[in-house]
């Protein structure tokens, strides 16, 4: 049976083969005064606290529940689509993810990044009737030029979607344009949208309305 020895300064129990105390470093057999013991105890006051107590261990992973909540909120507030691609539930839709036939609310701001997408059977203000690309270059178009761009890229797609010529239709058209910043990055994508000027909202798609 191996013999063990007790440090005379910190009273730690050491193995027989240890030449110095594994806790405080005092040489085996060395004497220690009461003052030395007191000084060691004050220096080692935190030594008995676990190096990684439970609350600190969990603190390292504080971001995990925050991430879970953020993902859950994102999932619950993002619109979802059916297998055929149509919106099946209301929620946020990025402008870049809008598709032909999508219905939505909002979007009146000068610059928008997302809209409130809804199934077309729910009350909505707007409907996407085409995604178009403008071939022009040059500087960012002024407001006075946007009507000309609409007539070039959106009007040709209006009648095939609605079933009536744009010039005589009761339904109005507009478009979501690239921001000036994205235009500078060669973005020429326009989202052609329509709405009923006689109703703030409608509860059906205007595809094939023929009016």
Whose tokens are 């239709």? That residue is 169
Q: What is the chain's length?
A: 211
Q: Tell me, what's the pLDDT at 88?
A: 92
Q: Tell me, what's the pLDDT at 109?
A: 67
Over residues 166-189, the pLDDT tens digits come to: 999 999 999 999 999 999 999 999
Q: How far apart are CA 69 and CA 54, in angstroms?
A: 22
Residue ranges of domains in the chain? 1-49, 64-195
| Between residues 151 and 62, the one the model is more confident about | 151
CB 191 within 8 A of CB 176: yes
| Between residues 141 and 63, the one the model is more confident about | 141
Which tokens is 2 given?
Answer: 């191996």
* pLDDT tops 70 at residue 60: no
Residue range 146-172: mean pLDDT, rounded? 96
Residue range 148-164: mean pLDDT, rounded? 96
Q: Report the predicted TM-score, pTM, of the whole model to 2 decimal places.
A: 0.64
With both helix axes pointing from N to C terminus, report the angle between 143-153 and 155-162 in degrees, rounded to the nearest 10: 50
Q: Tell me, what's the pLDDT at 137?
A: 78
* pLDDT tops 90 at residue 61: no
Q: Which residues make beta-bridge pairs with 190?
A: 132
Q: Tell me, what's the pLDDT at 94?
A: 92
What are φ and ψ of residue 176, in 5° steps? -100, 120
* pLDDT tops 80 at residue 121: yes
Q: How confident is the model at residue 75 (pLDDT cuts 50, 70, 90)?
A: very low
Over residues 95-109, the pLDDT tens digits come to: 999 999 999 998 666
Looking at the chain, the whole-number percentage of residues with pLDDT higher than 70 is 77
> How many Å separate Cα 58 from the centre of its chain?
25
Q: Tell me, what's the pLDDT at 49?
A: 45
Q: How far apart are CA 94 and CA 78, in angstroms?
A: 9
Q: What three-state secondary structure class fits 150? A: helix
């Amino acid at each position: 049976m191996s013999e063990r020895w007790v440090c005379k300064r910190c009273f730690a129990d050491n193995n027989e083969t240890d030449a110095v105390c594994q806790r405080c470093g005092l040489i085996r057999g060395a004497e220690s005064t009461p003052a030395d013991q007191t000084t060691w105890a004050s220096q080692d006051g935190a030594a008995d606290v676990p190096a990684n107590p439970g609350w600190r261990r969990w603190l390292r992973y504080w971001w995990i529940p925050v991430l879970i909540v953020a993902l859950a909120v994102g999932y619950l507030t993002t619109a979802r689509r059916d297998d055929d691609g149509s919106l099946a539930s209301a929620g946020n839709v990025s402008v870049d993810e809008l598709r032909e036939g999508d219905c939505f609310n909002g979007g009146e701001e000068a610059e928008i990044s997302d809209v409130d997408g809804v199934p077309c059977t729910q009350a909505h203000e707007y409907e996407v009737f085409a995604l178009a690309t403008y071939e022009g270059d040059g500087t960012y178009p002024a407001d006075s030029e946007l009507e000309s761009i609409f007539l070039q890229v959106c009007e040709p797609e209006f009648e095939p979607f609605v079933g009536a010529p744009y010039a005589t239709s009761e339904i109005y058209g507009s478009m979501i344009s690239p921001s000036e910043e994205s235009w500078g990055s060669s973005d020429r994508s326009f989202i052609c949208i329509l709405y009923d000027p006689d109703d703030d909202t409608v509860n059906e798609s205007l595809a094939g309305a023929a009016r």
